[in-house]
Each structure stands twice: as C-alpha cells, then as structure tokens.
C-alpha cells in the first residue's frame, strides 16, 4: 500500500474521509480510483456515467488545496504545540499557509467546544481556572500596559 493509500485508509477509518459515495446521477455506488493529475492522486468515479467526485467531497478536508499529507503534517505539529514556522518547514509549506491551517484548527475546536456543552466539576468537586491563561494585558512597545 502506498503512503497516500495508508493515509486515506486511516482517515476513512476515523470517518474524516468518506469510504464510499453514491453517484448523484445514477444513484449507484462510486468507486475510488487513481487520477495522477490531482493533488491526492485519488478520486471517486461512477462506473456508469463516468461522473467524478473529489476524495475529499463533504469531508473535514473539502476546502483545502493542500495535499492530505501536508495538511496532516501541520495538524500533527499543531496538536504537539509546535511553533508555526517550524511546522511550515516540516510540511514544506509557506509560513502564511501554516498560520492559516493553525487558525482553521483553532476555529474547528472552538466551534466544537461551543456546540457541545461540558460540565466541569460536579458534586463535591471544585474547579479552579487560572484567569492568567485567558486574559493578557495588551503589550505596547513590548511592555505590558
């Protein structure tokens, strides 16, 4: 199995990529096949009408132009709290691209946390939150104001 094949299988197993799609025209299952002139090298294709759909259609990765490999490298280093410039170098992308991916990941997490209420603590449990982690005084010329 190729590296991209292993990555696609991994993402499909975790339901981050579809493992099957149905053709909108024929209403039959599409098959996943190789296509050399696209970034990930794989595409869903209808055997009857030859309609194609992106491997990423309707997925977590659908709006990205980066290859899955580069995006996963950036996600890995973001999870590990790696500096953006170092992650950009590891993924062989520009710093601005890495910044955009890091921002996108923060937005995904924020959306998920805000839409899924969680309870901290409970009967007999005290939860303390250190406000210094959330409220920073703005710096003016490198000095806290």
- Average per-residue pLDDT in the chain? 85
Q: Check pLDDT > 80 for residue 132.
A: no
User: Would you say 64 and 57 are in contact if contact means Cβ atoms under 8 Å apart?
Assistant: no
Top-confidence residue, 45 or 1: 45
pLDDT in tens, 73-118: 999 999 999 999 999 999 999 999 999 999 999 998 899 888 988 8
pLDDT in the model for residue 56: 85
Most confident region among 5-14, 74-83, 114-123, 136-145 by mean pLDDT: 74-83
Rounded to an integer, what distance in angstroms lies between the CA atom of residue 64 and that of residue 24?
Answer: 23
Environment class of 87 (CB within 10 Å of its CB; exposed 0-12, middle 13-18, buried 19+): buried
What's the distance, Cα to Cα, between the start and end of the chain in Å? 57
Is 78 in contact with 87 (CB distance < 8 Å)?
Answer: yes
For residue 36, pLDDT over 60 is answered with yes
* Residue 134 CB partners (closer than 8 Å, separation 6+): none
Task: Yes or no: say if 46 and 30 are a contact pair by the CB < 8 Å rule.
Answer: yes
> pTM, whole model, 2 decimals?
0.70
């Amino acid at each position: 199995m190729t590296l991209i094949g292993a990555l696609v299988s991994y993402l499909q197993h975790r339901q981050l990529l579809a493992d099957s799609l149905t053709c909108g025209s024929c209403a039959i299952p599409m098959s996943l096949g190789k296509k050399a002139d696209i970034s990930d090298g794989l595409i869903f294709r209808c055997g009857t009408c030859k309609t194609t759909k992106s491997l990423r259609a309707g997925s977590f990765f659908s709006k990205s132009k980066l290859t899955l490999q580069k995006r996963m490298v950036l996600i890995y280093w973001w999870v590990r709290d790696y500096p953006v410039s170092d992650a950009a170098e590891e993924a062989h992308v520009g710093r601005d691209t890495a910044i955009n991916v890091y921002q996108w990941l923060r937005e995904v997490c924020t959306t998920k946390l805000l839409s899924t209420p969680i309870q901290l603590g409970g009967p007999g449990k005290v939860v303390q939150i250190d406000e210094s982690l959330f409220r920073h005084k703005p710096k003016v010329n490198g000095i806290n104001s």
